[in-house]
Structure 1
Amino acid sequence: MNSADLGRRVGVPSTALFTDQYELTMVQAALKAGTADRRSVFEAFTRRLPEGRRYGVVAGIGRVLDAVENFHFDDEMLTFLRDQNIVDGPTLAWLADYRFSGDIWGYPEGEVYFPGSPILRVEGSFAECVLLETVILSILNHDSAVAAAASRMSAAAGDRRLIEMGARRTHELSAVASSRAAYIGGFDTTSDLAAGFRYNIPTVGTSAHAFTLLHDNERDAFRAQVDSLGRKTTLLVDTYDVAEAVRTAVEVAGTELGAVRIDSGDLLLLAHRVRQQLDELGATETKIVVTSDLDEYAIASLAAAPVDAYGVGTQLVTGSGQPTCSMVYKLVARATSADPAEPLRPVAKKSLGGKSSVGGRKWAARRLDENGVAEAEVVGTGPVPDGLADRQLLVELVRGGEVVAREPLDAARERHIAARRGLPMSAVQLSKGEPVIPTEFV
């Protein structure tokens, strides 16, 4: 499975209880009413982008496929549901045999999206589709938020490398998902070994301040690290005095020293001083890595500094202030029976406060201008216009309950780079603004 999205499928648990109770109680009521088998279409989308964001990034599709594939109720789960009196006996019997048997189409991972984009379309019976709502949204909302933050940071960093190092700033499982999403959004490496093991993301890491403090002096700490990891290692130089540490680092490792890391202070000023000092000491090829609560704005502010790589933690794994994409999962069409020949009828929520939705089973395409740059996200329910037929965005992910679209994580990463390049240049501006292209419903 080296080319599969999962990388290594280690002890994958059932995802059936990663859900809200009302999903199961709706199934119970629908079974009793005789409507559970009605053919239905659900769509995941967002009504708006987070404030100030100009595009969103689709991430988590591979994890959604894993979740759907592993959504089943074992005996222990069924016993819990029975003992807690959550659903009745007939519903328990139905859940015991549950396997998703429908179809799923969606935006491929790494693609960009806009308000109203039908990011995921789930088709099957009402009961089998509604059960997937919570787990799908929890994955897409988290992963897409991190990927969007990563993309903004990647755009700000330009050709400089980005290190994901947020594992200690979030839940341990969220940390792995965050590493995956960050890689899609443009980060190069991660410090999280679980992410490296599961998703084959390159891992990096050398030492913290504790290692320096362990030793009697900085020279002893640097010597121990170089003896163990070699001259190409990265030495942390801001435990005591930065200038003295840089001098000692080059004396210990020689001019072949791989990099120095600065984790505090005025990074702009220190980066210039350290670069000058390294060059004067003959370590002209030694790189400078900066960390310390960076976000896309801090990265952009360091564009003129002689920095070679950025390490980002807290702001990345929390979506840089936008930890969710506010995606929803709505029933948009349904038939009056399970008969495949029965026509689908559009349905939609009509609410005040901007929470209404557009009914109908949708397609989406991106219209380009004469220069090949995106100018509109076009979403429709009828025939696809001839000029957009080859620009459709949704791809088949699951057919008859079987996953048909696994891909290497690098494919999603490369897709995102291409998708972002296809947007107007203003997409990567960090100033607040509206979505970079409008969504047109036809």
Structure 2
Amino acid sequence: MNSADLSRRVGVPSTALFTDQYELTMVQAALKAGTADRRSVFEAFTRRLPEGRRYGVLAGTGRVLDAVENFHFDDEMIAFLRQQRIVDEPTLAWLADFRFSGDIWGYPEGEVYFPGSPVLRVEGSFAECVLLETVVLSILNHDSAIAAAASRMSAAAGDRSLIEMGARRTHELSAVASARAAYVGGFHTTSDLAAGFRYGIPTVGTSAHAFTLLHDTERDAFRAQVESLGRDTTLLVDTYDVTEAVRTAVEVAGPELGAVRIDSGDLLLVAHRVREQLDELGATETRIVVTSDLDEYAIASLAAAPVDAYGVGTQLVTGSGRPTCSMVYKLVARAESADPADPLVPVAKKSMGAKSSRGGRKWAARRVDAHGVAEAEVIGTGPVPAELEGRELLVELVRGGEVVAREPLEAARERHVAARAGLPMSALQLSRGEPVLPTEYL
């Protein structure tokens, strides 16, 4: 059973109230004005990348598809809206029958993006498209921020394993979404069982300092863990004295000990000392796992250390200081009616400053150089130039209200590896800089 099947099996409740009130009041006003059915195109994009980031990572697309499928107003919700006098009775009747019936296109999950990239395009009536705004942005802004942080950490870690372990540092539902996004961005496992159950992400975990403190001696704690979990377990060795703990760990488990975990101190220095000690004790295959408030910079600083895996919590689930991507969801084109033959008219916000937007139903493609390395994100509203045909980035996700692009989470993860590999090498630099690709508009 793949992760998409697992996600559907869990049973997601209605997402209809994961929205702002003004989405519903706009629907009410548009229904009264006779404009609610006007064919419309909304696009989600970001005007800029978070400061210092060279590329963005799109994550959460699969969760958006779940949210769209489950966006409906049940009797209890309608009663709440009525009791709170949020909207009038004709609007309540319209909401009671609501199911999204439009089309959605977007960048496939795991793809990279840049300022202006139309990562999601939602088409349908104004009323049905505008209702999805808040939940779409909630998912994409959160998940893409986590995936971008994960991608930077993955690049810094190279071929070493990454463990997501931030469940205790964020909201319980955010923890599940974060583990999913981290997996897309390059992490290998999670400590969160709900994420493992819902999305099929491999889970790991052994013991905390409390388990050692529970027992009369560290040796007793190690013996109990090894007898329960086997010699391949990971023993936490920094509760008291690391050197003594490593010696005891190998005496208890033998040279077949799976791994030791270090959670404090000068990780670079301690890791070198522990590796030397393990080798002297004959535990040459025992791995070293390090944790303790790691971020991409700390991981990069440990590149020369004999470390086999990193466990990351707080910095990952908070986007490593960039907890949102600042994506917006804007009406970019609309017709005069619901008639498919009625032409779409580009519309755009023209306010002063950085909040203006570009009108028109857009396509996007990535131009590459002679070596196959990406050199520009190209966005247009007219015909796709011949040299960019076949390099378009948007794919069909929903057709006539039906999801047509379900995929295993592993596919998004693999896509991100390929997308990142196609960027200039400077994309992987942790130093601050501008987006690694310019955005060109045609």
Q: Same fold (TM over 0.5)?
A: yes
Contact in 2 for aligned 1:258/1:285 (Cα 8 Å): yes
1:353 is aligned to 353
- Residue 384 (structure 1) shift: 0.2
CA distance in 1, matches of 2:313, 2:6: 23
In structure 2, the partner of 1:65 is 65
1:204-257 Cα offsets, whole Å, 9 max, x none, are 000000000000000000000000000000000000000000000000000000
Query: Which whole-Å CA distance do the structure 2 matches of 1:189 and 1:143 have between them?
Result: 17
SS in 2 for 1:354: helix
- Percent identical pairs in the alignment equals 89
Match of 2:329 in 1: 329
Cα distance in 2 for partners of 1:8, 1:352 equals 44
Tell me which residue corresponds to 1:424.
424
Q: Give the deviation of 1:12 after TM superposition.
A: 1.0
Instruction: Give the counterpart letter for 1:359 in structure 2.
Output: G
Q: CA deviation at 1:124?
A: 0.1
Q: How far apart are the structure 2 equivalents of 1:339 and 1:72?
A: 25
Amino acid at match of 1:86: I
Alignment of 1:194-343 (within 5 A): 194-343=194-343
DSSP 3-state at the match of 2:389 = helix
* Alignment-derived partner of residue 130 in structure 1: 130
Distance in structure 2 (CA, Å) of the matches to 1:6 and 1:139:
19
CA deviation digits over 1:113-140, x for unaligned, max 9? 0000000000000000000000000000
Structure 1: state its 5+ residue gaps.
Answer: none
Q: Structure 1: how far apart are the matches of 2:211 and 2:356?
A: 56
Q: How many residues align?
A: 442
**Distance across 2 between alignment mates of 1:390 and 1:102:** 25
Secondary structure in 1 aligned to 2:331? strand
CA distance in 2: counterparts of 1:144 and 1:35, whole angstroms:
33
Matched residue type, 1:247: R
1:415 corresponding residue in structure 2: 415
Contact kept, 8 Å, 1:291 with 1:312, in 2: the verdict is yes
TM-score, normalization: structure 2? 0.99
**Which stretches of structure 1, 4 residues or more, deviate above 4 A after TM superposition?**
none
Match of 2:14 in 1: 14
User: 2 CA distance for matches of 1:427 and 1:238?
Assistant: 36
- State whether residues 6 and 197 of structure 2, in contact with CA within 8 Å, keep that contact through their aligned partners in structure 1: no
Secondary structure of 1:332's aligned partner: strand
Q: CA deviation at 1:9?
A: 2.8
- Alignment-mate amino acid for residue 425 of structure 2: M
Q: Conserved in 2, the CA contact under 8 Å of 1:105 and 1:398?
A: yes
- Write the distance in 2 (CA, Å) between the matches of 1:3 and 1:171: 22
* Residues 71-117 of structure 1, C-alpha deviations (whole Å, 9 max, x = no match): 00000000000000000000000000000000000000000000000
Native 8 Å contact 2:3 2:199 kept in 1: no
1:85 aligns with 2:85: yes
Corresponding letter in the other structure for 2:376? A
For the 8 Å contact 1:2–1:8, the answer to whether it is kept is no
Is the aligned partner of 1:363 residue 2:343?
no
**SS at structure 2 position matched to 1:366:** strand
Alignment correspondent of 2:149: 149
| Counterpart in the other structure of 2:182 | 182
Provide the C-alpha distance between the structure 2 equivalents of 1:91 and 1:253, rounded to a whole number of angstroms.
67
Q: Is the 8 A contact 1:141 1:325 kept in 2?
A: yes
Q: Which amino acid aligns with 2:134?
A: T
Partner residue, 2:114: 114
Equivalent position SS for 1:4:
helix
Deviations 1:272-300 (A, max 9, x none): 00000000000000000000000000000
2-structure distance, mates of 1:251, 1:266: 25
Q: Which residue of 2 aligns with 1:105?
A: 105
| CA distance in structure 2 between the aligned counterparts of 1:368 and 1:10, rounded to whole angstroms | 41
CA distances 1:149-189 after superposition (whole Å, capped 9, x unpaired) = 00000000000000000000000000000000000000000
SS at match of 1:9: helix
- Structure 2 residue aligned with 1:76: 76
Task: Tell me how far apart the structure 2 counterparts of residues 349 and 119 of structure 1 sit (CA, whole Å).
Answer: 19
Deviation, 1:10, is: 1.4
C-alpha separation in 2, matches of 1:5 and 1:35: 38
Question: Aligned equivalents of 2:96 and 2:215: distance in 1?
Answer: 59
Flag the 1:213–1:188 CA change in 2: closer, same or farther, 3 A.
Answer: same
- Taking the aligned partners of 1:228 and 1:411, their CA distance within structure 2 comes to 35
Cα pair distance change 1:193/1:304, threshold 3 Å: same
**Per the alignment, in what secondary structure is the counterpart of residue 154 of structure 1?**
helix
1:96: which partner in 2? Answer: 96
Q: Which residue of 2 aligns with 1:170?
A: 170
Q: CA deviation at 1:3?
A: 5.5
Counterpart amino acid of residue 405 in structure 1: A
CA gap 1:3/1:273 in 2 versus in 1, 3 angstroms: closer
Tell whether the 8 Å contact from 1:374 to 1:422 is kept in structure 2 after alignment: yes
Deviation digits for residues 20-76 of structure 1 (CA, Å, limit 9, x no counterpart): 000000000000000000000000000000000000000000000000000000000
Note if contact 1:24-1:87 (Cα within 8 Å) is conserved in structure 2.
yes
Measured after TM superposition, the shift of residue 4 of structure 1 is 2.2
8 Å Cα contact 2:3-2:198 kept in structure 1: no
